[in-house]
Amino acid sequence: MAQTQTNQQRRQYLDAMGIQTWSLRETDADVAAATEQVEARAPAAETVVEMPPLATDWQGLEAQVSSCSRCELSQQRTQTVFGVGNRNADCLVIGEAPGADEDARGEPFVGPAGKLLNQMLLAVGLKREEVYIANIVKCRPPDDRDPKLSEAAACEAYLKQQIELIQPRVIFAAGRVAAQNLLKIEQKVGAMRGQKFTYADTGIPVVVSYHPAYLLRSPSEKRKAWNDLLAARQILNNS
């Protein structure tokens, strides 16, 4: 009886996968073999290596990031991109992920988008070396695609620890990927702009704006980004 129930379950499984199993010559062995073939073709679930205890100092945390292999991004990187700038900064800028230039140099925002970011910061009286700049993930995704949720999750504790160490007065989230991962919401940048957000349970204000790379493609949106920078500047002035 138990064997019959098992075979029925296998048939239901195969039917759900769209594989026809009924046949006058079908045997239990045939069903078992077909099930094994389907299971073999099923993609393996992504796994994330368990996070070891995080270092509570900058040197130790950077060493942990540089040797990290918690997700598949570690397999193709040239080097990790930890972050750069003033470790006591009032303003923390967070982007999405390193690109080719960042992967080569080990520093975030160093290509054309980085040059624009520098200009944007200067426009509100902030030099690059006065702020801290980091990304949601520390390794470059293949072909500069968006980071997967599992990859962002694998890096989240590192970024959270950086925020804990910096204690910024405002976080400037540059782009959709940064904003959605920081705030855990699915809205588009256009819908998030101008809203009041805080990061997790820290109370640190988060200002959402467009990524500089997007502004290079859509220069007409620069005025909106300027207004977002002014909002961040206002928070600094009032805090």
- Phi/psi-derived region of residue 18, left when phi > 0, alpha when psi is between -120 and 50, beta in every other case: left
Where helices occur in 42-175 by DSSP H, the ranges are 58-66, 100-105, 112-123, 149-166
SS3 label, residue 132: strand
The model's pLDDT over 193-232, given as tens digits with 9 standing for 90+, comes to 999 999 999 999 999 999 999 999 999 999 999 999 999 9
Q: Is residue 204 part of a domain?
A: yes
Residue type, 19: I
Same domain, 32 and 117: no
Q: Is 192 in contact with 225 (CB distance < 8 Å)?
A: no
Q: What is the pLDDT of residue 103?
A: 96
Residue 94 burial by CB count (10 A; 0-12/13-18/19+): exposed, middle or buried? Answer: buried
Q: What is the pLDDT of residue 9?
A: 46
Where helices occur in 108-211 by DSSP H, the ranges are 112-123, 149-166, 176-183, 189-192
14: domain range?
2-41
Query: Domain total for the chain?
Result: 2
31 has a pLDDT exceeding 50: no
Same domain, 201 and 120: yes
Same domain, 194 and 86: yes
What pTM was computed for the model? 0.79
Residue with tokens 């193709």: 76
> Residue 197 is part of a domain; what is its CATH number?
3.40.470.10
